[in-house]
């Protein structure tokens, strides 16, 4: 479809080390793509760096869901691409998306996942996320969604955690989630900081609690406590 217009929305919080490179990488793939950085009150100059790199910067209440919603409200494109600041799109991302979205039944998509380090356990975890399910679709993989469908779903819930999982859940109830046959590369920094197995088990435990109905707000508190414990701070 020749009328496809992409808006890439990047939620940030203290991503000064990544944001300029992230914006430049997206711009290099397609100079016509709108890039919006939705900043949640960074204290390290992220917003200024994003603006200097050529992104539109939107100030938003802290929280990935509310930041993504604020970015979407500012966006002019009819296809929204939600991308983490430490994730890189494949070199042919927009060519692939244009070809895929010719089909009007494709309303939401994600990419395959890979990490920026080679570790056998992370490689297995990434491969398991090459298909769509409640357990295997997250914002780390990039979320591509038609703007009208995003509005139909009501956007992201204003949750501190698992807002991406919930968006996929709502979408999956109405349509299939298309898996783009190309890989994003995302940072393994939290796995390297906390230990690969420990972080994977921690994430799985949080997900199981979510599945059994624990509030995302309570899970967010447990997540922050777990991060501190993994780092030996408590």
| CATH code of the domain containing 48 | 3.90.550.10
CA atoms within 13 A on the CB side of 172: 16
Whether 229 and 129 map to the same domain: the answer is no
110 plus 163 within the same structural domain: yes
Residue 65 forms part of a structural domain: yes
Total domain count, the chain: 2
Same domain, 130 and 211: no
User: Rounded to the nearest 5°, which phi and psi values hold at 101?
Assistant: -80, 0
139 domain-assigned: yes
Q: Which domain holds residue 14?
A: 6-187
Amino acid 234: pLDDT: 42
- In a domain? residue 81: yes
- 151 and 93 within one domain: yes
Asked if 207 and 112 sit in the same domain, the reply is no
For residue 207, the 8-state DSSP code is H
- In terms of Cβ atoms closer than 10 Å to its own Cβ (0-12, 13-18, 19+), residue 197 is exposed
Distance CA 219, CA 217 (A): 5
The answer as to whether 94 is a domain residue is yes
Residues 125 and 43 in one domain: yes
Residues 6+ apart with CB under 8 A from 229: none
Q: Are residues 141 and 157 in the same domain?
A: yes
Residue 1 lies in a domain: no
pLDDT less than 50: residues of the chain: 1, 234
């Amino acid at each position: 479809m020749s009328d496809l217009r992409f808006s890439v929305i990047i939620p940030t919080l203290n991503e000064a080390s990544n944001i300029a490179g992230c914006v430049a990488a997206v711009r290099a793939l397609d100079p016509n793509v709108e890039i919006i950085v939705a900043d949640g009150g960074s204290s390290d100059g992220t917003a200024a760096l994003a603006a200097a790199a050529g992104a539109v910067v939107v100030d938003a209440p802290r929280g990935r869901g509310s930041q993504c919603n604020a970015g979407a409200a500012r966006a002019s494109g009819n296809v929204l691409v939600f991308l983490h600041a430490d994730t890189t799109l494949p070199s042919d991302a927009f060519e692939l998306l244009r070809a895929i979205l010719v089909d009007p039944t494709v309303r939401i998509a994600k990419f395959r996942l890979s990490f920026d380090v080679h570790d056998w356990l992370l490689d297995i975890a990434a491969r398991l996320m090459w298909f769509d399910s409640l357990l295997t679709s997250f914002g780390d993989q990039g979320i591509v969604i038609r703007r009208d469908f995003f509005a139909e779903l009501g956007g992201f819930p204003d949750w501190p955690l698992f807002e991406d999982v919930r968006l996929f859940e709502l979408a999956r109830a109405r349509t299939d989630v298309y898996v783009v046959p190309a890989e994003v590369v995302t940072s393994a920094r939290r796995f390297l900081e906390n230990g690969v197995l420990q972080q994977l088990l921690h994430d799985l435990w949080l997900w199981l609690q979510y599945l059994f109905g624990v509030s995302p707000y309570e899970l967010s508190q447990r997540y922050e406590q777990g991060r501190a414990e993994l780092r030996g701070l408590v």
